[in-house]
Amino acid sequence: MQRTYDELVAQARTLTAERGLAGFTVEELCDRVGISRRTFFNYFPTKEDAVFGEYDTGFPQKEQDEFVARGAGDHAGLSPTLLSDIARLVITRARHNDFTRQRHQLFRDIVRAEPHLMAKLMAVGESQQRDFARLVAAREGLPPDDPLPNAIVGVTLSLTFQTVDEFFSDDNDHSFEELLERNIAIARQFFGQPLRLPDPTARPDPTGSP
Amino acid sequence: MQRTYDELVAQARTLTAERGLAGFTVEELCDRVGISRRTFFNYFPTKEDAVFGEYDTGFPQKEQDEFVARGAGDHAGLSPTLLSDIARLVITRARHNDFTRQRHQLFRDIVRAEPHLMAKLMAVGESQQRDFARLVAAREGLPPDDPLPNAIVGVTLSLTFQTVDEFFSDDNDHSFEELLERNIAIARQFFGQPLRLPDPTARPDPTGSP
């Protein structure tokens, strides 16, 4: 079952990237995988659903449980190893065997061939971002709509996506870990600076002086 | 000319949000604005282009010049007021009079009515992100493809978009500045933590201990 499922997703993605969704039929997809049309619909309601599959880029349950457990104990403010533990989660995810240049490029090709899939892909991404924020909220003992987990997950994903793009660029010869560590170091430097905002009641100083 | 242009964009957006692109004709749009179909095509090649308009959310040239000038002078690493100056740019942008809940909601409605516009909207967003990164690179005296400006602009935009969503949420009673300052404070706390990554040659420690 799982093997048929995986094969359907892989072939549906390849065909979509090559020809667009309208460029192949469910029958053609089934022929490639060696199943009947009827069997196909036991797996997916539509061709488009096969392209997405579970789109599982979440974290395994065991890693999630460990991540939450490591936030236990008394602490004022954030749990003390939050930054390191989040970086470890991201690195562990990047070591999974579906994290390949080929898969990365495939999704670019799919969206190029079928721009309307972008909206669905973004909805999936937003739902994963919410799951990640809920995980951080659970660990930190915060309500799920607290702005803190959202802000932390947002900046983490921003650095992660940049790291993924750099890692898969043609001229890269660094490891994912090295690139992520460098990007976190940039954010540490940036957010370590003093912050002086303009007087809230005044318009920003037109001379631009602090 | 500018007034006709603005009116065409405003009406095209309202009509798209209400009915989708296919739900109105160029003629109908022209009737609302009081111009001929022929005049329309002096402004825009297609109905879709009118929906986007210039989509100008960039920073005014004067603010850009001041921002770059304030990075001058000797400094090791980042220019010392980079964080504050970027926060000021974002706040100044949020004080423009097109930064309204109505406009924010309009773009959500447009994308809901026409999901395929999402791909174009994302391309516009990516191009603005590159412009912003080039501005930071110019100020810091870095080459345009340096990872530092990209990482800084990425985390800045992540916090900015979260702040915009919070600012326009129904139950918000804080100023944009207050919300942005709070979100920057969260990032400062997060990135101020010590960072310990797993040994680069080893698999992540399955026990999860540091």
**Mean pLDDT within B7-28:** 90
How many A-B residue pairs are in contact by the CB < 8 A criterion? Answer: 194
Evaluate whether A47 touches A26 at the Cβ level (below 8 Å): yes
Note the pLDDT of residue A144: 82
Average pLDDT, chain B: 86
Note the pLDDT of residue B200: 63
Question: How many whole angstroms separate alpha carbon A96 and alpha carbon A114?
Answer: 27
Evaluate whether B30 touches B40 at the Cβ level (below 8 Å): yes
* Contact between B187 and A81 using a beta-carbon 8 Å cutoff: no
Note the pLDDT of residue A164: 92
Average pLDDT, chain A: 86
- Residue B206: which pLDDT band, with cuts at 50, 70 and 90? very low
Taking CB atoms and an 8 Å cutoff, what residues of chain B touch A189? 77-78
* Contact between B197 and A158 using a beta-carbon 8 Å cutoff: no
pLDDT at residue A23 is higher than 80: yes
Evaluate whether B147 touches A162 at the Cβ level (below 8 Å): yes
Question: How many whole angstroms separate alpha carbon A192 and alpha carbon B6?
Answer: 42
* Contact between A191 and B192 using a beta-carbon 8 Å cutoff: yes
State the nearest Cα–Cα gap between A99 and chain B, in angstroms.
Answer: 15
Note the pLDDT of residue B2: 75
Q: CB of B94 within 8 Å of any CB in chain A?
A: no
Taking CB atoms and an 8 Å cutoff, what residues of chain B touch A166? 147
Note the pLDDT of residue B209: 44
Note the pLDDT of residue A201: 60
- Residue A37: which pLDDT band, with cuts at 50, 70 and 90? very high
Tell me which of B105 and A206 has the higher pLDDT. B105
Q: CB of B177 within 8 Å of any CB in chain A?
A: yes
Q: How many CB atoms lie within 10 A of CB A193?
A: 18
Q: CB of B159 within 8 Å of any CB in chain A?
A: yes
Q: b/e map of B33-69 (b: 16 or more CB within 10 Å)?
A: bebeeeebeebbeebeebbbbeeeeebeeebbebbbe
pLDDT at residue A82 is higher than 80: yes
- Residue B172: which pLDDT band, with cuts at 50, 70 and 90? very high
* Contact between B189 and A77 using a beta-carbon 8 Å cutoff: yes
**Mean pLDDT within A21-40:** 94
Question: How many whole angstroms separate alpha carbon B183 and alpha carbon B167?
Answer: 12
**Mean pLDDT within B142-163:** 94
pLDDT in tens, A159-171: 999 999 999 998 9
DSSP state of A100: -
Residues 35-74 of B with CB under 8 A from A: 63, 66-67, 69-70
pLDDT at residue B203 is higher than 80: no
Q: Which of B63, B151, B166 sits opposite A159 (nearest CB)?
A: B151
- Residue A203: which pLDDT band, with cuts at 50, 70 and 90? very low
Question: How many whole angstroms separate alpha carbon B13 and alpha carbon A86?
Answer: 40
The ipTM value here is 0.81
Provide the token pair at A119. Answer: 């909206």
- Residue A209: which pLDDT band, with cuts at 50, 70 and 90? very low
Which of B15-24, B46-55, B173-182, B194-203 is least confident?
B194-203
Note the pLDDT of residue B205: 41
pLDDT at residue B24 is higher than 50: yes
Give chain A's largest Cα–Cα span.
71
Q: CB of A192 within 8 Å of any CB in chain B?
A: yes
Evaluate whether A158 touches A141 at the Cβ level (below 8 Å): no
Nearest 10 degrees: CA dihedral of B202, A167, A187, A199? -160
| Angle, vertex CA B56, rays to CA B53 and CA B58, nearest 5 | 165
| Angle, vertex CA B50, rays to CA B47 and CA B56, nearest 5 | 155
pLDDT at residue A188 is higher than 90: yes
- Residue A55: which pLDDT band, with cuts at 50, 70 and 90? low
Taking CB atoms and an 8 Å cutoff, what residues of chain A touch B155? 155, 158-159, 187, 190-191
In order of their start, the domains of chain B are 1-54 (1.10.10.60), 57-191 (1.10.357.10)
pTM for this entry: 0.81
pLDDT in tens, B45-72: 888 888 877 655 578 889 999 999 999 9
* Contact between A190 and B152 using a beta-carbon 8 Å cutoff: yes
Tell the burial category of A178 from Cβ atoms under 10 Å away from its Cβ (0-12, 13-18, 19+): middle
**Mean pLDDT within A53-73:** 83
- Residue B164: which pLDDT band, with cuts at 50, 70 and 90? very high
Tell me which of B111 and A162 has the higher pLDDT. A162
Q: Which of B83, B111, B193 sits opposite A193 (nearest CB)?
A: B83
Evaluate whether A200 touches B62 at the Cβ level (below 8 Å): no
pLDDT in tens, A64-79: 999 999 999 888 889 9
Among A63, A174, A191, the residue to mutate for chain B (most B Cβ within 10 A): A191
**Mean pLDDT within B174-200:** 93
Question: How many whole angstroms separate alpha carbon B94 and alpha carbon A205?
Answer: 15
